[in-house]
Amino acid sequence: MLAGIERIDEVEWEVPIGYVPGMRVPGRFFLSEDLSETLEVGAVQQLANVAVLPGIVRYSLAMPDIHSGYGFPIGGVAAFEQETGVISPGGVGYDINCGVRLIATPLTPDDIKNPRALIEALFTTVPTGVGAESEMRISPHDLEEIMVEGVNWAVAAGYGTENDAAHCEEGGKMPNANAAPVSKKACQRGMPQAGTLGSGNHFLEIQAVDAVFDNEAAQTFGLSAGQICFMVHCGSRGLGHQICTDHLRTLESATRRYGIEIPDRQLACAPVHSPEGEAYFGAMAAAANYAWVNRQVITHQVRTVLNRMYGIDYEEMPLVYDVAHNVAKMERHNTDKGRQTLCVHRKGATRAFGPGCPEVPQDYRAVGQPVIIPGSMGSASYVLHGTNTAMEKTFGSTCHGAGRVMSRTKAKKATPGSEVRKDLLKQGIIVRATSDASIAEEAPDAYKESYKVVDVVRRAGLSLPVVRLRPIGVIKG
């Protein structure tokens, strides 16, 4: 383990006050000794820097998929008081409400006689890649409704089934979303992109449940051994990116104006209830709602293909759940001061609320919130459930995925994409992407192994495994 870090428990570590000047609370992160080789000094420094921000509660936290990001580390969780605390775009990331959803089907692997044909049909139907545009015609008025109503817009417009909204975190609609602080430029970028996958680590995957760790929880979530599922990983595309860019600029000047001292310019922030902070929060919530619509429309595209190819009814392909892993939300948590509403930033971290929480859909409440952890390309994904330990230790949060260990540029030089594609095919995994270059960037070697990350949160008790899903086919931008 790196110097200056103290061991708290088997997989829990503390970055003490004083690691960087001005820390108000310690840092805490979760990591196994095995994964400690991957820990970057820069990411720990970022974790400590976040502890300098005003109004931070208890700890600056990070999950085992920690790596350096813009200002805040990816894998980071930070909660701020309403009255004294701040909100920061760096704590959310550029891809606002990047998230993952899982769609169940009644199919088994044997039902898919020609996986290549299914993958081609999906690749043709779901627009993918940088700058991909949808065939949907979204008017400026539609976009405004999308940003305010979230997934409810999509369901009302015919892109969903009855239970879809209830199975999204936050009901697929952030309250207090505001289209007013969303720039015209952001709207222009967002309008043609609703229902598109994007690029980078975003994907649409055909998976099969190949291990069940908790029968009862799996049954509650509607999952069983051998079942074919579809996983969608994407976010708010150019809209969220533009909102982040726009508001970083206004918050940089706000940081100075409010006299907030920050150790890194990338931690630009404003008081939660300042005009600038509220403008960012409203616009961020609007982008979050757009991202839920985006994943919902892609879900509809997947269901349409499956209905056409296999004659399955839309109602037989329920949404298991949809999680947001890049977002800031106002949430009630127990603190030293009693029960408080906090502005919880999760950047590359997943909400993992425990059993009994009213925020968990009624049909899942006894088990806890489903947590969806996508694997890197070609590696397994997991469904876990939230716990009371997460509520106590991490403001109800857990990891979000494998986590990079190699930069995009480094990965591109390491192995040609064509070779990665052939290697995966040997393992029985079909990859369909817009280019071999994008496959190289996302090579499995560029990521931590997802099971190691999942095992840390299991050992820490932050969330517990329900099923494992192995990939059969991957569609990438």
Q: Report, as residue numbers or ranges, the catalytic residues.
A: 400
Q: Is residue 114 marked as binding?
A: no
CB nearer to DNA: pick between 27 and 471: 471
Q: How far is the CB of 169 from DNA (least distance, A)?
A: 19
Q: Is residue 413 marked as binding?
A: no
Q: Could you say which of 47, 77, 91, 95 contacts DNA (CB under 7 A)? A: 95
- Counting contacts by CB under 7 A, is residue 406 touching DNA? no
Q: How far is the CB of 192 from DNA (least distance, A)?
A: 9
Q: Which stretch binds DNA (CB under 7 A): 56-64, 78-86, 234-242, 467-475?
A: 234-242
Tokens, residue 440: 């190289």
- Counting contacts by CB under 7 A, is residue 396 touching DNA? no
- Counting contacts by CB under 7 A, is residue 347 touching DNA? no
Total residues in contact with DNA, by rule CB under 7 A: 24
- Counting contacts by CB under 7 A, is residue 185 touching DNA? yes
Q: Are the C-beta atoms of 76 and 88 separated by less than 8 Å?
A: no
CB nearer to DNA: pick between 227 and 301: 301
Q: How far is the CB of 130 from DNA (least distance, A)?
A: 3
Q: Could you say which of 22, 131, 361, 461 contacts DNA (CB under 7 A)? A: 131
Neighbours of 129 (CB within 10 A): 17
Q: How far is the CB of 345 from DNA (least distance, A)?
A: 17
CB nearer to DNA: pick between 187 and 469: 187
Over the Cα atoms of the chain, what is R_g?
21
- Counting contacts by CB under 7 A, is residue 200 touching DNA? yes
Q: Is residue 329 marked as binding?
A: no
Among residues 292, 273, 462, which one has the least CA distance to residue 385? 462
Is the sign of the CA dihedral 275, 281, 283, 286 positive or negative? negative
Interface contacts to DNA, rule CB under 7 A:
94-95, 98, 129-131, 185, 188-189, 193, 198-202, 234-235, 237-238, 241-242, 408, 442, 477
Q: Residue positions in the annotated binding site for GMP? A: 201-205, 325-326, 374-377, 381, 400-403, 476
Q: Residue positions in the annotated binding site for Mn(2+)? A: 95, 202, 233, 325
